[in-house]
Structure 1
Amino acid sequence: MSSTAPVPRFPGGTAVSGLRVYDWESVDGLCGGSPHLHTVSSEAYLVTAGRGEVHTLSMAGAEEHSLAAGALLWFSPGTVHRLVNTEDLTLTVIMSNAGLPEAGDAVLTFPRHIVQDPDLYAEHAVLPRDVEESVLAAASRRRRDLALEGYAQLHTSVLTDGPGALAEFHRAAARLVRPRVERWKELWEANVLAQVRATGQALEELAEGSAASLAGAAVARGGRRTGEGYGMCGRLTTWEDARL
């Protein structure tokens, strides 16, 4: 196996990470992560160990979905989701549009006055860098608790007024990410669209009887990065070249 073999990319720009959902208890007695939505990317959870739930707010209203080893659940952009950890919940997270979630595609459910103020939102959403782990963990937990505060308000609105209550939050989320969209387009074209075009070219070549698209046959391995990061919902494990 060549150590320099390029990673075979997937149309859709798939990204993979491991997630150990936070076991921090919140004010409502549940343990878990920060509620949020993605404005562009779809997401899937493949449960590898433990038990828990994911609570969602979507056009279907407020729902709770049980999670156990072997379960697979995915949701589309605009779906607010909150992971709840009841017993060592561990997931493989699969995202579309690799590069966009890392570039700010996710919007946390902070209280309304924060979500409506881009500067205030950024102040609370960004975690400190180059600090001790205890400081980073505390900041992550504060961010989670603030997102749960806004989530409780939004959840009540959806229960009272129906899924249409999500519309205001969707509009606020769209305003927050709008300044990043031009950069997102560049990332999307270089990653997602490039792979779609490569598949289209391969189909054209095969239709002509050419095997040119198979000439790069290779195997690649992604090295696991050391340590765990602090994500929105838990401690993250990532791999080099995990943007497929």
Structure 2
Amino acid sequence: MSSLKSTGCGRSRPAAALPTPDAEDTLQTPFQPPQPKPISDVKHIVAVSSCKGGVGKSTMAVNLAIALSQLGHSVGLMDGDVHGPSVHTMMGVSGEPAQEDGKIVPAEAHGVRFISLGLIAGEDTPVIWRGPIVGRVLQQFLVDVNWGELDYLILDLPPGTGDAQLTLAQSVILSGAVVITTPQIVAQEDVVRGGEMFLKVGVPILGVIENMAA
């Protein structure tokens, strides 16, 4: 398998198995995700989504993962917000993850195993990737991380309804999605679009959380 590496020129890129950002510019066909399939030894995969940034989506994903762990479940958390990873900061962990038997070993905190590009790319390294590259990295996080046996794998999706969200929704069998919004009218209008995206790809909406309401 390939690991993700941080280059010394101010941009991060996947290793040889994935194209570099520059190479991606020459791709002639769009990235086509495989048919949805389960992840071995993972019982339930739940996506946490929002259509706008700044609504507390990652905070909710982290809290959901920790709460499930405190209830006695084995839980993993994947930071899919490639352009703005924050899960590692919220979990209080830094440093590049190890590799074992050809797979990335997830970090662990508060009883939750997790992976974030922030552990690999560095705090100040911009991630200058287009949709096809992001899709490949997210798939690598799903299949090339040694998650072990999990009751729940929580996916913290990037905000919006673009390539990254569709890639994850179409790559694995999702048990459902939780959509995060805020009381503002603009945010609530966007959450309808986000819900429609999941319904169109056959993913049930488990709930909508209105954050920052008080």
Query: TM-score by structure 1 length?
Result: 0.26
Query: TM-score by structure 2 length?
Result: 0.28
